[in-house]
Amino acid sequence: MREGPRRGRGATANPKGRFARTHCEPFDDGWGSLAAFAAEPAPATEVRPDRARGLITYNRSPDVGFDRSLNPYRGCEHGCIYCYARPSHAYLDLSPGLDFETKIFAKERAADILREELARPGYVCEVLALGTNTDVYQPIERRLAITRAVLEVLLEARHPFTVTTKGAGILRDLDLLAEAARLELVRVAISLTTLDGALARVMEPRAAAPWRRLEVVRALAGAGVPVGVNLAPLIPGLNDHEIERIARAAADAGAGWLDWVLLRLPHEVADLFVAWLKARFPQRAARVLALVRACRNGALNDARFGSRMRGEGAYAAFLAERVAKAQRRFGLDRAPPPLRTDRFRPPRRDPQLSLF
């Protein structure tokens, strides 16, 4: 697969994952094969079944605010170049590059599996985070409606949950979210990395436009759904000049809080991001990478708990102070509202039994 920018896609390459045993490169055999290779069309999205036997994933990470999460999809068509979930495709013997955004695995039985897990006698209810790895409202959700089926099970069980998304498709489920909000069972975070439409188109090519995400914030707030904005990731030298503008726009749209995460570049994401940056912003690439390293002890990534989310050093501290001031200035320094776990009631293992 040829390298270089493609319209509607984030990654500029499709390198092998870190577990691959072989590596292939294009070779000119004298028969015009390289020309044909260069003219290869952009790959289409392919949806494959994910026959997962479990749905809820548990973690003990000390720097995230939840201990369990749920992701109906593996891979994400939004194509965000910075996505820290890209390396997970290597476990499927696929590339974290274009494969991650074009070969999507859908957990079509997610709602049934979730029902079984929540109905187990030993299950203890705690807040369940949706969309922590890949977006639950990426474009294929419009057709498959797996996330909606999951929300229906959660609402039936009165189970608290959070949603993180940059997809405008969440408004399709406003009826379920509004009912969950009435029961104090849900809060939503909308990821907003830039107000610059041109930057968003190349950095997050198939996600909702920035203005549309602000409309989503406004609609959720208007329906009584607790909603905040995640400035994630904050990329030094690329979107950090927008901190105050994004905070103001979020507050004007009705957001209740603002959170942020510094750019993370684990495993293959580092090379993918560097290649994208040099292809899309060649004159700014050196400065952006230098500032990232200034926040990561000279490296492009730091996976240590306690520093991976916010970075270290003078420039990271400068960014943190700017965000804190913007939060206070626009009234976005409040903590998200707590959710209730005492309303939980295990769902029926087989909803059809309710007919008898």
Query: What are 106's strand-pairing partners?
Result: 49, 73
CA dihedral 127, 128, 134, 138 (to 10 degrees): -100
Query: What are 259's strand-pairing partners?
Result: 230
- Token pair for residue 340? 């209730």
In a domain, 285, yes or no: no
> What is the rounded CA–CA span in Å between residue 273 and residue 233?
13
The one-letter amino acid at 147: T
CA dihedral 146, 65, 291, 298 (to 10 degrees): -110
Per-residue model confidence as pLDDT tens digits over 121-143:
999 999 999 998 899 999 999 99
Per-residue model confidence as pLDDT tens digits over 233-278:
999 999 999 999 999 999 999 999 999 999 999 999 999 999 999 9
In a domain, 223, yes or no: yes
Helix (H/G/I), strand (E/B), else coil: 347: coil
Contact of 207 with 266, CB cutoff 8 Å = no
Q: What is the CATH number of the domain that holds 88?
A: 3.20.20
- Token pair for residue 252? 């004007």
In a domain, 125, yes or no: yes
Q: Report the b/e string of 149-186 with b at 16+ CB within 10 A.
A: bbbbbbbebbbbbbbbbbbbbbebbbebbebbbeebbb
Per-residue model confidence as pLDDT tens digits over 66-116:
899 999 999 999 999 999 999 999 888 999 999 999 999 999 999 999 999
Flag whether pLDDT at 19 surpasses 90: no
Flag whether pLDDT at 33 surpasses 60: no
In a domain, 197, yes or no: yes
pLDDT (0 to 100) of residue 53 = 86
In a domain, 346, yes or no: no
pLDDT (0 to 100) of residue 7 = 72
> What is the rounded CA–CA span in Å between residue 201 and residue 208?
9
The one-letter amino acid at 224: G
**Pairing mode, strands 128-130 and 68-70:** parallel
In a domain, 23, yes or no: no
- DSSP conformation class of 2: -
Of 27-36, 111-120, 136-145, 227-236, least confident by mean pLDDT is 27-36
Q: Which domain covers residue 210, as residue numbers?
A: 46-230+237-255
In terms of Cβ atoms closer than 10 Å to its own Cβ (0-12, 13-18, 19+), residue 62 is exposed
pLDDT (0 to 100) of residue 356 = 44
> What is the rounded CA–CA span in Å between residue 263 and residue 295?
10
In a domain, 301, yes or no: no
Provide the mean pLDDT of the chain. Answer: 91
The number of folded domains in the chain is 1
Per-residue model confidence as pLDDT tens digits over 170-227:
999 999 999 999 999 999 999 999 999 999 999 999 999 999 999 999 999 999 999 9
Per-residue model confidence as pLDDT tens digits over 275-332:
999 999 999 999 999 999 999 999 999 989 888 999 999 999 999 999 999 999 999 9
In a domain, 312, yes or no: no
Closest CA to 227 of 274, 181, 295: 181
pTM: 0.89
